[in-house]
Amino acid sequence: MGIHDVSQTVHKLWNGWELRTVILLSLFLQVFLVLFASRRKYTAGFWLGTFVWLAYLSADRVATFSLGILAQRLGDSETNCTNPNPGFIPAFWAPVLLAHLGGPDTITAYSVEDNELWLRHLLELGSQVVVAFYAFLRSWWSKDPLLFVAVPIFLAGMIKYGERIGVLRSASSEQLMSSKYKEMNELRSQFNRFSNSEFFEMTDELETTDERLIQRLGLNDIIPEAKFLHEANLFFQMFGVLHADLVLSDSNHLASYLILRNKTAEDAFHIIEVEMGFMYDVLFTKVSRIRLSHIIRRAVSLLCFVSALLAFSLGMSKNNHAYLTTEITVSYLLLVGAIIIEIYGAVFLLFSDWAMLWLSGQKKPLFNLVYRTIWSSLFRSFLHNNKWWTGSMAQHNLRSAQLTENKWFDISIIKKLLGKSHIQSWEVVSLELKKLIFEQLKDKRSRYSYRMRTYDPGKNDLHEILSERGDQVIGGERCLEKLGWSVNCSDFNESLLMWHIATDICYHYDFPKDGGDANNVHPSCKMSISLSNYMVYLLCDCPFLLPKGIGKERYNQTCIDVSQFSTSLKRIISGGSDLDGFIETLELQGSQVSGLFNGSKLAKALQSLVTEDGWENERKWEMISKVWVEMLTYAASHCGWKEHAQSLTRGGELVTHVCLLMAHLGLSEQCLTN
């Protein structure tokens, strides 16, 4: 067989399988997105995000491409049930592809920006409906004996695509802001039953619980297992207002402060996690608050696909020669796949936090029993994974990254080439760290009084409190004269890098003193290292979550200096030499933009607290950990909500949860002070 014959055979084979291949690929992409797209909420893996991104971008293009091929091939020749045509294609394949363009319930937008493109999707809907209808008409001319099967699928496809556009539109910034005006008015009316004096009275009573407030808000009849969902829902309404760049009145954030004030750090963070889960659903999925219209649409779509499958099966029993065996197999796969996707979407909604919120909100014994049954079921654990975010911090240590980057092969090299990740490892956000953050935030809140509006330097100036990035902690330890220069830089990123270098050097100085056993390292030391590496990761991969500055350039110059002085730096961290000579060398030869010189200088000053001022190592590391928490809170409060919302698609970020926790404690400049 010659090359020409092989080419002819391949060409014929491809012509026969081209449409079948792309339409099955479209189904596969839908199934993949159904199963894995929602996992972005609690998974920060590089590969999952990459595959979901590829599937999301490919799904619409493959379905559109398939529609084009289908419109060209349908009806090219006439046929009927007594005169089978090898090229005959079922008419309902076109509306099935229209349903694919509607997408699964688990993902409507990959990023926040996709919601702004709803008008483009509306235009595409019009064009794709025309193409699908054109393909349907060509089937009509070809006398397809099962033409009627396409009618219910057409209806389901229109519903699913229209629903997707509606969700994208409602999540766009303009519509979101418009809807939040309504929510803000609802919140205002909800809290109008309280007077400001009542709130101030409850706030002043430090020992009081939130029972009074909960009772007035109608949450006292909620079963204990579901109370956190309703508190998170109340907070979510407030967050929606903040996300739309609106302001909250005193009564709103005083209420959230009263609810959070007496909770443990674990419970407070848990409520924030659930609240962020609500926001993820609204911005990136079709799963949202339970409404009758949504249930009706889901039921109609499912019934349309089921009726189409039954009609096709019945038609095949009477006209078993209408299509080729391959077309029949592909048809069954498309219909069964569509039904499974619809059922999965319905089950996913039934087991979602929104359904649990609705069930427990009915406040009836039967509904409470159903809630407890679903909540404790293993199936819900499988669907939800009992997580609302990844619960971890990405880690990037500048020094170790530079000193180990010359490996022959490292997966991080591939990630860097793709511009996706500088992540070296992950560290679980421990309960100790949550307690430290929560306690420092409550301390900040205690220094701000909403009753007293007069200016009181260091106590009642909210802007000044939010501008603290380590100076409050250092001042409390009476070290401003020795360390104040390190946190008062005009560029926050400069302080971040020098404290990162200093923390790393101090850790390697002190670690051998603990016998080289990581289990003997003080918890404050562990938290300091974790936060230090996490903040540098944000600087590298998520600079939009940090205050603006020349952080990237400082990072690059610091990396150059670390590589240039790697030999000396290795001797220092191994305890082979002191810092004095190294600092003198850096002063003469190092870059002015680099953070290595100032970081080494700061490390020497921190070590002198122990060697000269008589501090215990534990006290030093407690101060360092609190400085890092203050830097984290500073970064959290100096970033836009849109950037924080975008981080939800990568498993969530600790800085986002801290930012929201601060807002609910009233530590946000969007909290109205009238």
- Please report, in angstroms and rounded to a whole number, the separation of the first and last CA atoms in the chain: 88
Residues 613, 540: Cα–Cα separation, whole Å: 36
- On whether residue 651 sits in a domain, the answer given is no
What number is the average pLDDT over the span 473-502? 90
The rounded percent of the chain whose pLDDT value lies above 70 is: 81
Among 335, 350, 365, the domain-final residue is 350
- On whether residue 180 sits in a domain, the answer given is no
Count of positions (residues) in the chain: 674
Residues 352, 424: Cα–Cα separation, whole Å: 33
Please determine, for residue 203, whether its predicted confidence score (pLDDT) is greater than 70.
no
pTM, rounded to two decimals: 0.88
pLDDT at 198: 63
Please determine, for residue 433, whether its predicted confidence score (pLDDT) is greater than 50.
yes
Q: Would you say 622 and 433 are in contact if contact means Cβ atoms under 8 Å apart?
A: no
Give alpha helix (H) positions in 426-565.
431-446, 462-466, 471-476, 480-483, 492-510, 523-541, 551-564
Q: Would you say 240 and 189 are in contact if contact means Cβ atoms under 8 Å apart?
A: no
- Residue 64, CA distances (Å) to 31, 59, 67, 290 in order: 17, 9, 5, 31
Say what angle helices 596-611 and 551-564 make with each other, to 10 degrees.
70
Neighbours of 194 (CB within 10 A): 17
pLDDT at 2: 56
Query: What are the structure tokens assigned to 448, written together?
Result: 């701000």
Instruction: Domain of residue 163: give its range.
Output: 3-173+288-350
Report the domain count for the chain: 2
Please determine, for residue 527, whether its predicted confidence score (pLDDT) is greater than 50.
yes
pLDDT at 533: 95
Phi, psi for 389 (deg, rounded to 5): -155, 175
Range among 80-89, 138-147, 430-439 rated most confident: 430-439
pLDDT at 84: 45
Among 331, 350, 369, the domain-final residue is 350
pLDDT at 80: 41
Weakest mean pLDDT among 45-49, 234-238, 534-538, 653-657: 45-49
pLDDT band at 662 (very low <50, low <70, confident <90, very high): very high
The string of pLDDT tens digits covering residues 589-612 is: 767 778 888 898 999 999 999 888
pLDDT at 302: 94
Q: In what helix (H) or strand (E) does residue 58 lie, and over which residues does it extend?
A: helix 46-73
- On whether residue 443 sits in a domain, the answer given is no
Please determine, for residue 5, whether its predicted confidence score (pLDDT) is greater than 70.
no
Task: Say whether 426 sits in a helix, a strand or coil.
Answer: strand
Please determine, for residue 623, whether its predicted confidence score (pLDDT) is greater than 70.
yes
Please determine, for residue 514, whether its predicted confidence score (pLDDT) is greater than 50.
no
Residue keyed to tokens 């389901």: 156
pLDDT at 153: 93
Q: Which of 316, 334, 305 is nearest to 22 (CA)?
A: 334
Please determine, for residue 616, whether its predicted confidence score (pLDDT) is greater than 80.
yes
pLDDT at 78: 47
Please determine, for residue 418, whether its predicted confidence score (pLDDT) is greater than 60.
no
Q: In what helix (H) or strand (E) does residue 395 lie, and over which residues does it extend?
A: strand 392-395
What number is the average pLDDT over the span 81-110? 77
Spell out the residues 6+ positions from residue 616 whose beta carbon is closer than 8 angstroms to its own.
Answer: 610
Q: Which of 572, 563, 614, 592 is nearest to 498 (CA)?
A: 592
pLDDT at 199: 62
What number is the average pLDDT over the span 65-75? 79
Please determine, for residue 17, whether its predicted confidence score (pLDDT) is greater than 70.
yes
Please determine, for residue 328, whether its predicted confidence score (pLDDT) is greater than 80.
yes
pLDDT band at 246 (very low <50, low <70, confident <90, very high): confident
Among 585, 609, 633, the domain-final residue is 609
pLDDT band at 144 (very low <50, low <70, confident <90, very high): low
Q: What is the DSSP letter of 1?
A: -
Q: 8 vs 658, which has greater pLDDT?
A: 658
Phi, psi for 479 (deg, rounded to 5): -120, 15
- On whether residue 408 sits in a domain, the answer given is no
Mean pLDDT, the chain, whole residue set: 82
Q: Is 103 left (phi over 0), alpha (psi -120 to 50) or beta?
A: left
pLDDT at 293: 86
The string of pLDDT tens digits covering residues 256-309 is: 888 888 889 999 999 999 999 999 999 999 988 888 888 899 899 999 999 999
- On whether residue 307 sits in a domain, the answer given is yes
Residue keyed to tokens 């014929």: 12
What is the identity of the amino acid at 235?
F
- Residues of the chain by 3-state class (helix, strand, coil), percent to 5: 70, 0, 25
What number is the average pLDDT over the span 627-651? 89
